[in-house]
Chain A
């Protein structure tokens, strides 16, 4: 029997470089962001093959924060074991891994030694001139190789389950 609480950090380079699939449409994310005060988290399992071709079902989470303030306050991250393993956000200034001072949007790179992507920041031009939430989602998800569902199942808010019939005249 496999042990519970498996540590999948050794798979991070593979996870970051591979295309991942989240079964949610972009429209759904945008609706969720509107309905959940600009912060959403999605959880799914990705099948990842290790070096000896053994498949692992790795639990991943995607956190998106697009609160309605300045775009530079937005952030996106891919998490595993509740730790950021990839992501993009903005700082007015930061130091890249070579110790050079940089500015603006950057990508968080996973550090195997630290077992997180919080400290290593690589400048990126992917988000330059981003002005809308849709652009932010398209560009960041492309950078992070996260594919979304092309099928939008609509707005469930129209028919919320509340224990009360939809035909209620209340």
Chain B
């Protein structure tokens, strides 16, 4: 290829890069959108914050980490170490979810490109991010088991049955209502640890205590199914057990047991004297 052609390509590339660099101001900081595409289809955003004297803080405002999290990519300890190393090699740092570089005015261009490159490269994992089709939810298994169990003496199995306590309204996931008073209604609650098993146990405790002694709930037998039991603390499990006629802890991977346990416990509680 002739040198003149190469120069022409270089010039047009410079023109293109120049046109694609956008600048705006957010909260008093310059924001540069660079023509470096991330894998979530955006230009790398770099913020420039003037500090005292001739010093500048160049950073991505945590946008990269935040957007990865929003897309379901959690920054594990391993990924944090990888980002730290990547940033170090590119002349920046990764700290508290932010890619940043501190520099003097004369080094601004390098810092901007460095942070921009980090922000774009950190999205690499998006390429391998795939949907996860979760196992069938426990509540669906429970519902199916209840419908298969439903004996003649049960008039109806209600779902998300509201109950009015002394202080507030609650709901049980499922309640079986018998046709005749010699059978007991059974209230079934599925307790997932969510973000705190203690909080879940205490919520359940609030439901039970808030409705305790109130008709018609005082005749309902309580059946708790505790999911991901391996993540629950002993005290939380103990609290749920104390507040239920039957509490069944289900360890992850053993959810299929629901189909055996539910009919057996429902029958036991419905017919108990």
Chain A residues with CB under 8 Å of chain B are 1-7, 9, 32, 37-45, 47, 56-59, 61, 63, 65, 67, 69-77, 79, 81-84, 87, 89-94, 103, 115, 118-119, 151, 153, 156, 160-161, 163
Chain A nearest CB from B52 CB (Å) reads 19
Is B65's CB under 8 angstroms from A84's CB? Answer: no
Is A84's CB under 8 angstroms from B71's CB? Answer: yes
Give the chain B neighbours of A1 by CB distance below 8 A.
144
Chain B nearest CB from A106 CB (Å) reads 11
Chain B contributes a number of interface residues (CB within 8 A of A) equal to 59
Q: For residues 190 through 238 of chain B, which have their beta carbon under 8 Å from a beta carbon of chain A?
A: 192, 194-196, 198-199, 202-203, 206, 233-236
Can you show 27 pairs from A to B with CB atoms below 8 A apart? A2-B140, A6-B133, A32-B195, A37-B97, A39-B69, A42-B195, A56-B140, A57-B137, A57-B139, A57-B140, A59-B134, A65-B69, A67-B66, A67-B96, A67-B98, A69-B62, A73-B62, A74-B66, A81-B132, A81-B133, A87-B70, A89-B66, A91-B45, A93-B24, A118-B41, A119-B41, A156-B198
Closest 8 CB pairs of A and B: A5-B133, A77-B70, A73-B61, A65-B66, A73-B62, A81-B131, A75-B70, A82-B132
B29: Cβ under 8 A from any A Cβ: yes
Give the chain B neighbours of A59 by CB distance below 8 A.
134, 137
Is A153's CB under 8 angstroms from B202's CB? Answer: yes
- Judged by DSSP, the binding face of B is mixed
Q: Please tell me which one of the listed residues A47, A93, A160 contacts residue B160 in the complex, with CB atoms under 8 A apart.
A: A47
Is A69's CB under 8 angstroms from B198's CB? Answer: no
B155: Cβ under 8 A from any A Cβ: no
Is A156's CB under 8 angstroms from B134's CB? Answer: no
Q: Please tell me which one of the listed residues B70, B72, B129, B159 contacts residue A76 in the complex, with CB atoms under 8 A apart.
A: B70
